[in-house]
Structure formats: structure tokens, C-alpha cells
Structure 1
Amino acid sequence: IFPIRKGIKTHDGGEITPEDVEYSFERVMVQDRDGGPAWMLLDPLLGVETTRDSEGNIVVTAEQIDKAVEVEGDNVVFHLAKPYPLTIFLQILSQTWSSIVDKECAIRHGAWPGTWNNWTKYNNPEVPELQEADCGSGPFMLEKWEHGKEVSLVRFDDYWRGPAKIKRAVIKKVDEWSTRKLMFLKGDADIIYVPTQYAQELEGAPNIRVYKNLPTLAVTALFFTFEIDPESPYIGSGKLDGKGIPPDFFKDINVRKAFAYAFDWDTYIREVWQGEAEHIPGPIPRGLPFFNPDQPKYEFNLTKAEEYFKKAWNGTVWEKGFYLEILYNVGNVQRKTAAEILKENIEKINPKFKIYVRGVEWPTYLRAMVRGQLPCFIVGWLADYPDPHNFVFPFMHSKGTYAAWQHYKNPKVDELIDKGIRTSDPEERKQIYYELQRIYYEDVPSVVLYQPLGRHYERDWIQGWYYNPIYPGIYFYALSKGY
């Protein structure tokens, strides 16, 4: 039961009410976009991970969603479908996917009207209705959004905690490093992202403040798609004839193990990350409870890779060879280099093995991942809340984000993951998550490439920044500028 604060003004001129809170949470569940965060609310509130089955059919009812969140006077009541750790539920409520929107504003912009006669029409939209509408009540309002260029936020003076110290925050997309660097050194940019390979260029620069070796709760892995879309443009002929791969190419565990042994972690972490990353054994990052530091992990070994390639598909892979494409999103040097390392090492094992590394824009990359068109894909996961469930679920559960896109299914894994989030006994949870890490190594649904250390660069006139590994991006409300 949560009492709702009165007098919180919205950017649209209204005030937040308990009905707005109820509507906001129900709308998240109604919408439930592919790859979105709704699963974190659906699990505790409805006892399911998604509103749809594998064919896209709705599997929950309006009544279930309606009764999960209710208004009682000035309070909002959440009805949990089953026992769920309170600390995790509160952590879920504290992040951006639990943001409250002004119901009237949202409906006016075409969002779900809050009624149940046609609610399924608003499920899994291609483009969210509020993507460019500002119906919030936070410290900054959306001033303008130039797609692919910049987002401009302006201070909301009626914010309930008091106005922010800065009047405006502008987030610019500047892909070209030399341009971004020059803006930073001239003082035209206050905070920038510095790719690791360019970090040396700013060493010793005046009036620059840098925080190094920031621990992260983030993991990037190479995921194998078990059932690739047969219409995928990235699998060549679609057959194991030396000119492509069949859609179920990675269902053979020997193929997955061969790819795992073909990755050179030492070279990658040294040259791409300048040593500021770690090769960890599984999806649970170091720093979270129940991380197993003694869990075996794959190491670079081309002899082993060759051994498993020769076993794959009863020898046909070795005899015929294969062709596939590995994509990366343009501008992501880390993913591009990881793909190139795999290509180089695998192609030197057998001249019949061919991999093409293709760069595409992020929207294209994301669509292809969601649709199961990528033979394998490199992507990271940043913690939504600091618990191992938040990593094993998307990485390993058949209904988890990445595992679902891969079509990876292991009933024992699903059972263990469901049990792990239900029990509160630390020793029992440890046994469960240690077992999941062991299965991850044995089954190789994906292979972790790295857990990075972070850096933060800012001009020395910036005041108020602090590091929070669970919060992505910049919290502008805390910042000020003092020259």
C-alpha cells in the first residue's frame, strides 16, 4: 500500500492523482513491448513474464491487469500474484519504467484510454504512443527532440522537490570522436563519452576531471540464435552447403562450443578495453550476490575450437564449411572488434569457414534481434536492479529477453530461475544460482565476452555528479556549474 503525495504538478498543467499512478502501471502491462521492461512488473503482479505466447496470442485477461493495481482513497494498492522479495519489488518501482504519467495527457496523445473493451489493440505497439509526448512530472521537460541529433530538456520550475540548478540540459549525438573531443576541450561540452581506445588522448588535459575504474553491473555476451528466421538475409543459402547455414545451425552444441573457444579474451580486453574489463564466467556479474568466482569459463583455444567444429553436424560443418554474417551497430567499436576477432580466428581454422562482419544502424540491429534474424548477436545487459535474477532471467529463461529472441529453452533452467526468485533463504539461493552458472557453462546458450569497468569524464566546473552503477545516464537534477 502506497500513499500518494498530493500537490505534485505535471508538465501538462495537472496534478498527479492515485488514478494516474494506477493507470501508469496498468498501461505498462497493457503495452508490454517486445524487449521492454514490462516483464519486471508482470512477474510479481500477474505471475507471468509476458502477456503473449510464442505465437503472439494474448494470454492474460483484462481482469488480471485491472485487479493487480487498485486505488483505495489516497492510496495505491499492489496485489502481488505470488510471494516476491520486497526489496526487489521496491527496486523495480524506483526505476524509470515505473515513472508516473498524467493520464489525461497520455490519452490525449493517443495512449491506451484506460478502458478494457479494446485494450489488446494497445499491446506491443511498433512505436509507443508517448515516444515524443511529455506527460510527466519530473525536474525537466522535453523541449525538442531532433532524431539522430539531439534532445533538449528545459527546467520545470514547479517540480515538487524544487527547481533544478541548471536551466537546460542538451544531449547531443556526435559520433565523430575528433569533433566530440574538440567540443569537450573547448568547453562546448560539459560531459562526454570517451571510448576506451581514445582515453590516452585526454590524459593530462587541463580542466578535465576523470573518474576511473568505476565498477559496473553490466555484462556483454555473444548470443547464439537456436531457431533463426528462415527468411533472414544473414544466413546465405540457408543450407549447410558452404554458402550459408541452416536456421538451426546453433542448436548443435558443438558449434556453440567451437565459437566459444575461438574468442581471444586476452587480446580483446588488452587492446580494446586497455585492461579495464574482466573476463567473467557467466551472466551474473562480479559484485552481485552468488557470483561464483570459481566457475570454469571458456578460454581461447583454437585446438579445442577445431575439435568441436569437426564434431559439429556429424562432420558436415568441417567438410562443407559455412557462411554467416555477424552484425554490429555502427559506432560500437567494442562489438565490431569482437566480431572481427571471431571472424579472424574461425576463418583461420578452416578456409571453408566464412564470416562477414556487417555494420548497421541500431534500429536495424534491434529489429533483426527481436525477429530472430541474427545468427548470433553481441549485446549487453545493464542491471535494472542489483540481484542475480535480473541477469539469469534475460540470459537463460525461455521467456527472458535474450533467451526468447534466441529460442533457447531448458525446462530445468526455467524451474531453477523461478525457484530462485521465490525463496528468501540465502544459502538456498546460492545453491540455485551456482547451479545455473554451471549449466550456463555446460549448455553455452551464449558466452560472456566481458564485464567492463567504467569511466566518467567531465569539465572541472561541473558540480554534484556522483556514481550510481544501477542508474544509466546522467541525473541532471543533481548537477550545477560553478566556474
Structure 2
Amino acid sequence: MKKVLIVLAAVLLVGAMVGMATTVVEETIGTIATLDPAWSYDTASGEAIWQLYDNLIQYNGASLKEFKPMISTNVPSEKDGTILDNGKTYIFHIRQGVYFHNGDVLTPEDVKYSLERTIIFDRAGGPTWMLAEPLLKEIDGAYVDTLEDWAAKLAGVKHYSDLFIKDTRTPKNAQYKQALIDAFNMLDKDFEIKGNDLIIHLPHAYPPFLFILAHGANWSAIVDKKWAAENGAWDGRADTWWKYHNPTREKDPLYSIENGSGPFTLERWTKGREIVFKRFDHYWAGPAKIEYGIIKRVQEFTTRKLDLMQGNADMIYVPQQYMSQVEKLPGVTVIKNLPELVIDDVFFNWNINAKGNPYVGSGKLDGKGIPPDFFSNLDVRKAFVYLFPYKTYIDQVLNGQAIVPNGCIPKGMLGYDPKVPPTYHQDLAKATEYFKKAYNGELWKKGFTMTVVYNSGNVARRTAAEMIRAFARKINPKFNVQIKSELWASFLDDYLAGKLPLFALGWLADYPDPYDFAQPFYGSAGAYGSTLGKNYVAWAKENMDGLINESMKTTDPAKRAEIYKELNVKAYDIAYAIWTAQPMGHHVQRADLKGWYYNAMRPGVDFYSLYK
């Protein structure tokens, strides 16, 4: 009897070991917000969606320039005749025999529905603009970011909200309802299904279009139309779309469920704690090598480190300042110098909102404050860009894991040239020269007082502010830079209200194309450009907007690269910002984990590639 029990115990032990070997655990700090591809615009949610849903095409391993088929069996190209009309028509051959997790078979109609659903979904602050710009016709020569704009234009009203009875989603009259329907039908004409092909007709060429469709761009992930409608999502009709437009997260019916065609199904999601994926054995590309993938939210680094050492976690998130604690751990692999598509910088507010604003002191050039248009002065901006200790900041704050940008285009992307323009560097003699020139010498004579604000908990941004303060005082003791932290919500409120004289923020690529950086940074209507004050907006309209628009009118990479170089030179000449860093990433895992690869556009880990 004892022998039988011993044998049974051995069998159970082997079974447990096999179970452990087929489970991969990642511990990180991000909180998943949603499982709905049309809602997600954060990397934590994007990592989960990556495992559950597929897109038309995918990146070829680590490459940011080459694609390979996914749900489409081809990657459209001019060479094989599947990109036509000077980049305005794309033909996708939809793969047959692909199953959604509930057993439904994927069709071209599901792909069409998924892309249209993202456009009509259009939640506030979401990713819809990336599909809207290529798929919607321009208005007055400008890209349209939301179907709202076309609905309002066709109805002849100023705002989308004017179409509806107050506090309802009921159109005020038949004319307005028809305008809503006509706006959708304009979008619907972009799509044509012929047999098993989905043909997309863009109203204008849009060079980054394939990037916007690739795996990792969750807003283009493919959902099951039938299943989505059955669960309360949009039914696909032209005369209902506005009822499903811009929902709150809690009222989004696909918020916490999924039915993708990806390599894993959702086993369970314990919100704020962990999500568990189970292998989908009917995956079109073959089942994953592991049975389960788990992402756990573990806030304390010491706990994550201990779990890694003990084998309870296979991968962990390690902040840069803790890298020395994991680099020599036995059985642990550390991969460094991974170029991220991120640009961090310190912006100048050309027209500060001085009303009730303590951060500008007196609001005058009297030594006790700064005037609202302080950073409209080119000499002031040049003085600050020569003041900052770029190399010291990267070496001491970022442990050498970054490079100094020379504009908004990251290294590794079309249009980046390390020599054009040159990077700024610290030169206190030049900083002094420009400070003395500013305001005909009055600034140097009187000094100034202002406050630099950073978001609480961001050590790097706090240190950058401290460096600006230290070197400003070193140049002239009358230069008084104060430092204040704010919680993120308050910081964001003050930023949007235009109250911050200097502010540090960064931009992470939505897709690996320079337009995704040039437009937000330099455009007069860009996410950052539009917040830099009326003087910058006026300058950008005259000097930047035309070039940004021109960069999207050609699909020739060489011509586009030259335009982005020109934009960066213009930004250099006006001392647009203190370009602080393009960070380099790292990855920490147990040595027995195999199959991990790096792609800067992937939100987190690709569990499908992993095995032990």
C-alpha cells in the first residue's frame, strides 16, 4: 500500500511540475482598465488584449518596418497589386477557418464591423482618432478625428450636441437624424467586401495606415459582430450608431468580457489584482506552447524581486533605480539597452495663464515673478536649453539608459538623423549670453522668480527641476526657481489651464511613424502644440502645419524623411523645448524562460511566443 501511495505521489508531483512548466507568470504594476479593444488606450489593457484578439496584420518579430500576415493572409503592397490608387485602396485577403473563442467563424464582415465600431464608439480621450483620420474625409483641408464633426457639418449645426434633445440621445428632428445616418454611410462606403476579400477605400492617402491596423493597435483588433451585438454592443446599423457613441466605461457591455480569435481565452480577471489566460487550442496558427499566462499586479518591488528569486514569477517589472539589485541574481536574465519609442522633454509655455496663478509670482519682470509671455522670448528659451545638464541627467538619473533627443522624432524611426539638427548640450557661457541679451539686459539685472511644477512621485522630473534651479542660481543668484509637486490630477488640471510656466511630459508612440510625434509636438492643434500658448500656435500655423500636412500627402519615405528633418531644424532654431531623454528599456526574467523578444510597439509581453 505504501508503495502505491509513493508511486501515486510521484505521479502527482510530476503532474504538478508539468503544470508549473506550462504556466508563465508576469508581475508588474499596471492596472487593466478594460478588455474592450475600442476603449483601451493604455499599455496594461493593451497587453491583455494582445493575448485575446488578433488584427489584420502583425509586426515581423522585433521589426518595426516589416509586417507579416495575421487574420489577413497577405500584407498589402503596391508590388503585388493590393495597394492601389496611389495608396488609397488596400485589399486584404481574409484568412478562412479562423475561429473566435466561442466557436463562431471569422468573416470579412467581422473585420469591417470592428473597424467601424471603433469609429462610432469614439469614447472621450480614446484612440478613435487614429482610425478616423485615414477613414473620414477631410473638412476644409484638415483631418477629421471624430464622426461627430461630419454629423454636425451635414446637419448644418455648430456642435454635435446640437443634434439631440437635451440630455438624451434622441435626434431633435428627422433632418438631424438623417444627417447622422448620412455621416455613417459616408464611412461605410470606405469598405467593400468581395468574396473573402475586404477592400478599404481611403478618401486620401495616409502613409501610416498599415501601422494603425497592426497587432498591438488594439483599436483595430477584430471582434465577433454577432457576439458583440448579442451582448449589447452596437448592432452594426446606420440608424443606431449614435446610441453606442462615447459610452462611460461601466456602461460599455464589452468592458469585462471577450471573444477574440487570439491564442488565449480569458480564464478569469480579478480586477486590480490579476488576469489569467488559458490556451486556445483551436488557434489558427497552432496552440501556444504554454497552457496558462498570468499577469499579476504587485506594487512592491521587494515582493516582485523575491517572487522572481523563488520562481513564483517568471518576469517582473523593475524600475531603473533598482536594476543593480537584479543584475547579478543567479538564474535571472537581464536584457538592457532596448530603444523605446518615447520622447521626454520640458516644454515652454509661451503664454502663461497668470490669473490667480502663484507659479508666476508677481507676473512682472521685476525680480519677483515673470511676465505671462516670458517664454515667448527666444533669448529666454535658448538660455534655458543651454542651461540644462543633459549628460549628467542621463548618467546620474537614468543610469545611462537613455540618449539625448535632437527633436521629437525618436531614434529608430523614419526622419531621425543624429546630426540634423545637432543635439543641445549644456553650455553655461552661452546660457549666460542669452540671459544677458533677453529683455535688453533687464532680465539679467532684475532676475526672476517662478515655480516649476512636477507630478508627485516622478523622481526623474523632480530631479530635472532641481537641476534647472541649481544651474539658474549658479549663473545668477537673482534667478529664483522654486519647485512644487502636485498629484497627477491637479497637475493635469493646471497644465490644461495653461498655468505651468515649464512642464515636463513625454510622448509614447501610438504607432511607429514620425507623424505620430510631429503632429502632437509641433502642430498648432497638436496634443502639446495647442497647449503652448497663442504665440506658439500662431507661429506653428505659419511654420509647421504646412510641412506636417505635406508629410502625409506622399508615400515616398525619402521625401517624408526630409520633411521631418526640416521640422526638427525649425524646432531647434526656436529652442522649442529642453529635450531631456529618449529612454532605453530593459527586461528582467528567469533564465529558463524562452521565446521572449522585444518590439517597441508591443504593449507588454507576447505570451504566445513563450515556453520553458
TM norm structure 2: 0.67
Amino acid at match of 2:201: H
1:254 to 1:183, Cα distance in 2 relative to 1, 3 A: farther
Aligned to 2:313: 189
Aligned equivalents of 1:11, 1:236: Cα separation in 2: 57
Comparing 21-30 with 140-149, greater Cα deviation is found at 140-149
- The answer on whether the counterparts of 1:196 and 1:274 sit within 8 Å (CA) in structure 2 is yes
Residues 52-85 of structure 1 show CA distances to partners (whole Å, capped at 9, x for unaligned) of 77x9945993333222334444332211111333
The Cα of 1:255 is off from its aligned counterpart by 4.5
**Partner in structure 2 of residue 435 of structure 1:** 566
Q: CA deviation at 1:297?
A: 2.9
What's the counterpart of residue 321 of structure 1? 448
Residue 19 (structure 1) aligned with residue 142 (structure 2)? no
Structure 2 Cα separation of the partners of residues 31 and 254 of structure 1: 46
RMSD value, Cα: 3.7
Q: Could you report, residue by residue, the CA deviation over 1:78-110 in whole angstroms, capped at 9, with x for unpaired residues?
A: 11111333xx32222113231112234444555
Cα shift at 1:281: 0.9
- Tell me what 1:179 maps to: 303
How far apart, CA to CA, are the structure 2 residues paired with 1:447 and 1:428?
27
In the alignment, which residue of structure 2 is the partner of 1:299? 425
Per the alignment, residue 279 of structure 1 pairs with: 404
* Structure 1 Cα separation of the partners of residues 232 and 453 of structure 2: 38
Structure 2 vs 1, CA of residues 341 and 101 (structure 1 numbering), >3 Å: closer, same or farther?
farther
Partner residue of 2:487 out of 355, 360, 366: 360
- Mapped partners of 2:277, 2:350: distance in 1: 42
Q: 1:198/1:169 Cα in 2 relative to 1: closer, same or farther (>3 Å)?
A: same
Alignment match of 2:508 (pick from 377, 382, 385): 382
Q: What SS does the aligned partner of 1:462 have?
A: coil
Within a 5 Å distance, the mapping from 1:45-124 to structure 2 comes to 45-46=135-136, 47=138, 48-51=143-146, 57=159, 61-85=183-207, 88-95=208-215, 96=217, 97-107=219-229, 111-117=233-239, 119-120=241-242, 123=245
Alpha-carbon distance in structure 1 between the residues aligned to 2:471 and 2:271: 38
Using the alignment, how far apart are the partners of 1:397 and 1:369 within structure 2? 18
| Among 360, 378, 386, the residue aligned to 1:261 | 386
SS of corresponding position for 1:261:
helix
Kindly indicate whether the alpha-carbon contact (under 8 Å) linking 2:389 and 2:425 is maintained by their aligned counterparts in 1: yes
Quick one: distance in 2 between partners of 1:132 and 1:229? 41
1:345 has 2:471 as partner: yes
Q: Deviations over 1:167-189 (max 9, x none)?
A: 33222333433232222222222
Secondary structure of the corresponding residue to residue 159 of structure 1: coil
**Equivalent residues of 1:26, 1:69 under 8 A apart:** no
Q: What CA deviation, in whole Å up to 9, does each residue of 1:243-287 have, x standing for no partner?
A: 877776544444543443332111111112222211121111222
Please state how far the C-alpha of 1:458 moved relative to its aligned partner: 0.8
CA distance in 1, matches of 2:269, 2:370: 41
Contact conserved, 1:222 with 1:377, CA < 8 A, in 2?
yes
Q: Label 1:469 to 1:352 Cα distance change in 2 as closer, same or farther (>3 A).
A: closer
Show the 5 A alignment for 1:328-477: 328=455, 330=457, 332-346=458-472, 349-350=476-477, 353-358=480-485, 360-361=487-488, 375-406=501-532, 409=537, 410-411=540-541, 412-477=543-608
Alpha-carbon offset, residue 25 of structure 1: 1.1
The amino acid across from 1:93 in the alignment is: L
The unaligned stretches of length 5 or more in structure 1 are none
| 3-state SS in 1 of match to 2:528 | helix
Q: Say if 1:371 and 1:71 are closer, same or farther in 2 by CA, change over 3 A.
A: farther
Alpha-carbon distance in 1 for matches of 2:601, 2:405: 19
Q: Which amino acid aligns with 2:135?
A: L
Q: Distance in 2 between matches of 1:371 and 1:115?
A: 39
Whether the 8 Å CA contact 1:245–1:324 is kept in 2: the answer is no
Q: Is the 8 A contact 1:234 1:375 kept in 2?
A: no
Match of 1:159 among 272, 283, 295: 283
**1:179-220 deviation digits (Å, cap 9, x = unpaired):** 322222222221122223222222322101122223333322
Task: Give the conservation status (yes or no) of the 8 Å contact 2:94–2:108.
Answer: yes
Separation in 2 of the partners of 1:453 and 1:187? Answer: 26
2:24 corresponds to: none
Query: In 2, are the aligned partners of 1:140 and 1:153 still within 8 Å (CA)?
Result: yes
Kindly provide the amino acid, as one letter, of the partner of residue 514 in structure 2: P
Q: Per-residue deviation at 1:24?
A: 1.5
How much has 1:359 moved relative to structure 2?
5.1
* Alignment check: 8 A CA contact 1:233 1:373 kept: yes
Distance 1:448 1:345 in 2: 17
Identity fraction in percent: 42
- Indicate the structure (1 or 2) with the bigger Cα radius of gyration: 2
Change (3 A) 1:2 1:389: same
2:134 to 24, 36, 44: 44
Are residues 194 and 3 of structure 1, via their aligned partners in 2, closer, same or farther at CA, if it must alter by over 3 Å? same
2:452–2:503 contact (8 Å) kept in structure 1: no
5+ unaligned residues in a row in structure 2: which ranges?
1-90, 153-157, 162-179
Contact 1:261 1:304 in 2 (8 A): yes
The answer (yes or no) to whether the contact 2:224–2:259 under 8 Å persists in 1 is yes
Cα 1:396–1:24 change in 2 (3 A) is same
How far did residue 299 of structure 1 move?
2.0
Match in the other structure for 2:343: 219
Partner SS for 2:203: coil
| 1:390 maps to amino acid | D
Distance (whole Å) between structure 2 residues aligned to residue 300 and residue 227 of structure 1: 25
Contact 2:452 2:484 (C-alpha < 8 Å) held by counterparts: yes
* Structure-2 separation of matches of 1:114 and 1:249: 52
In 2, Cα distance between the equivalents of 1:446 and 1:336? Answer: 17
Structure 1 window deviating more from structure 2 (184-193 vs 290-299): it is 290-299
Describe the shift of the 1:425–1:102 C-alpha distance in structure 2 as closer, same or farther (beyond 3 A).
closer
**CA separation of 1:200 and 1:98: change in aligned 2, threshold 3 A:** same
For structure 1, which segment, 61-70 or 343-352, has the greater mean C-alpha deviation from structure 2 after superposition? 343-352
Partner of 1:478: 609
> Residues 395, 123 of structure 1: CA spacing in aligned structure 2 closer, same or farther, 3 A cutoff?
farther
